């Protein structure tokens, strides 16, 4: 059965936003992920969230995303990159 927000998110106090733009930076201590969207009435991106993650944790995140993509493609078909 496909996963959805209810399968992943527990509780009501988590901010849920749609993102379609990403900016990634790093220094020796952390990776910085800026997440946002381009509003339909603008060409300028609006970054809404900044996530700071330690290097070891960002590597775990990468592995988790890779596994989730594999599971998704196994169930739903290949993702076509635009």
Predicted TM-score (pTM) of the model is 0.73
The helix (H) or strand (E) run that includes residue 26 is strand 21-26
Tokens standing for 26?
Answer: 């790093």
Residue-level pLDDT at 3: 56
Euclidean distance between CA atoms 38 and 6, whole angstroms? 26
DSSP SS3 for 27: coil
Per-residue pLDDT tens digits for 10-62:
667 888 889 999 999 999 999 999 999 988 888 888 999 999 999 999 999 99
Residue-level pLDDT at 1: 41
Residue-level pLDDT at 5: 53
* Domain locations in the chain as residue ranges: 16-76
User: What's the residue count for the chain?
Assistant: 82
Pair 2, 76: CB distance under 8 Å: yes
């Amino acid at each position: 059965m496909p996963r959805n927000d209810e399968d992943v998110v527990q509780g009501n106090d988590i901010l849920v936003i749609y993102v379609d733009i990403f900016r990634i930076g790093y220094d020796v201590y952390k990776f910085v992920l800026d997440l946002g969207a381009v509003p339909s009435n603008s060409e300028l991106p609006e970054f809404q969230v900044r996530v700071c993650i330690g290097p070891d944790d960002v590597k775990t995140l990468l592995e988790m995303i890779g596994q989730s993509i594999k599971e998704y493609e196994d169930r739903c078909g290949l993702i076509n990159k635009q």
